[in-house]
Structure 1
């Protein structure tokens, strides 16, 4: 839904620590990492005030405690290698590839402040009546989907899928309008998606940098100018002019934010208020899903997961 050319203007990544975010006692050159696997003990923040820490040369959102402008080394703020391996083995039935980075134990701070409802992952056969029924326990209404009227090809399914990508990777095939979550043993969880229309499509590899439930949406200035109807929907929010999270928000119930080379691509995998657009090329570049599918994928994908758009 956004143009990648705006990334450099929207987020000058990490303008460095503010004066109040001073270094805490750093180890000498021979001890490169601090607790939690971070490269140093410095906090960084971007122009919107989002805090980050640096791990393996990459900036990751930091939502841990801060005292006197310094990060508190909280063991729960990040997963160590053993815990990462244990969780991956539990989820996918196999250990992570050698050298796989640790992932965040907690999601990035939420834009709208809505908690992520705890939802168990259901790996059984897909019961469409249940899968696309109303979703309970959400801060906003998620209405049922009349799935019998949909092209059944684009409903959620587990399928055979041969790929060299590791389990846990997301692969998007825009031409076929499918998103695959790679599973072990040549299998994948497949979802129908809506993708970018001509002139707004993109391809390449990215990373799920953060995940948000009922996120705010900040359309670029160019989009607002291109679509005057948006002017009546946007208002001043904590990170700029946008649409607050809710049942009428174009990002839907969940969003996964895609970054490349430590920069926000401004592309998202997200829910939608227009489920009839699934299986079509109609968006401004983002990958949209039925809200129920976005919630299901959200519960299975780790922050740090690789995303490949063919």
Structure 2
């Protein structure tokens, strides 16, 4: 399946994922939410939590490397937080301004993940449905992308799965009204991209996080992306 995700550069090692812009008219959604994170942990404790949650995953089809504490701002580490929202449990809510993805849970909580989102001019907002899930997916650049970046022609029939594949360890494919939007929630092995405006619309999570999210959300789950300027 085609995807709008594209690597930062092409060479021996492909850096994960920039994405082309595609037209997606999604209705804006209302959201009122707040989070509360414990401030009691010391800086060393927060750094230790990063290394605990982002250990290597050697048993994956393609081994996932560990993330060092100095590679990720601790606030973007996966954690359960207080979260007030009208969306029901099981909904995925993305706040592109805060660079957080929330999986709504029971009792006013959510599992929160740090994400990288669309850079200026490539953001999108609205709602969609996870219509398909894939482990270690193949990435195929669209024809329009190949025209702009001829070096990607070698992947016209698909780039094989792997840690350098722009979609990473997992991909959740977003559909609207039964049609593929070309937007994805997907993995990356580049921690420097988390908390940044780096893509052309897709939402990227660390491979460890997208694996965790993949296990928690079934196909058919609703995804809501808040418009810029509306904080969760």
Question: Which TM-score bucket, shorter chain as reference?
Answer: 0.7 to 0.9
Q: TM-score, normalised to structure 1's length? A: 0.57
| 1:170 paired residue number | 92
Distance 1:128 1:198 in 2: 29
1:159–1:281 distance in 2 versus 1, CA, 3 Å: same
Of 187, 201, 205, the residue aligned with 1:271 is 187
Structure 1, residues 254-275: CA drift from partner, whole Å, max 9, x if none? 0000001111110000001322
Runs of 4+ off more than 6 Å: none
Q: TM-score, normalised to structure 2's length? A: 0.75
Structure 1 residue 309 corresponds to structure 2 residue 225:
yes
Q: Is there any run of 5+ residues in structure 1 with no aligned partner, and where?
A: 7-125, 237-241
Of 212, 215, 221, the residue aligned with 2:143 is 221
Q: CA deviation at 1:245?
A: 1.2
Of 152, 158, 172, the residue aligned with 1:256 is 172
Q: CA deviation at 1:2?
A: 4.1
Q: Which has the higher contact order (CA 8 A, sep 6+)?
A: 2
RMSD: 1.8
Q: CA deviation at 1:224?
A: 2.3
Distance 1:179 1:265 in 2: 19
How many pairs align? 185
Of 190, 193, 204, the residue aligned with 1:288 is 204
Q: Is there any run of 5+ residues in structure 2 with no aligned partner, and where?
A: 1-18, 25-47, 227-232
Structure 1, residues 74-126: CA drift from partner, whole Å, max 9, x if none? xxxxxxxxxxxxxxxxxxxxxxxxxxxxxxxxxxxxxxxxxxxxxxxxxxxx9
| 2:214 paired residue number | 298
Distance 1:274 1:221 in 2: 26
Q: Secondary structure at the match of 2:173?
A: strand
Q: CA deviation at 1:131?
A: 2.0
Q: CA deviation at 1:127?
A: 4.9
Q: Secondary structure at the match of 2:188?
A: coil
Structure 1, residues 24-74: CA drift from partner, whole Å, max 9, x if none? xxxxxxxxxxxxxxxxxxxxxxxxxxxxxxxxxxxxxxxxxxxxxxxxxxx
Of 125, 129, 141, the residue aligned with 1:203 is 125
| 2:56 paired residue number | 134
Q: CA deviation at 1:184?
A: 0.6
Q: Given that residues 2 and 219 in structure 1 are in contact (C-alpha distance below 8 angstroms), is that contact kept between their aligned partners in structure 2? A: no
Q: Given that residues 79 and 112 in structure 2 are in contact (C-alpha distance below 8 angstroms), is that contact kept between their aligned partners in structure 1? A: yes
| 2:161 paired residue number | 245
Distance 2:120 2:184 in 1: 17
Distance 2:147 2:69 in 1: 35
| 1:191 paired residue number | 113
Distance 1:256 1:149 in 2: 25
Q: Given that residues 51 and 68 in structure 2 are in contact (C-alpha distance below 8 angstroms), is that contact kept between their aligned partners in structure 1? A: no
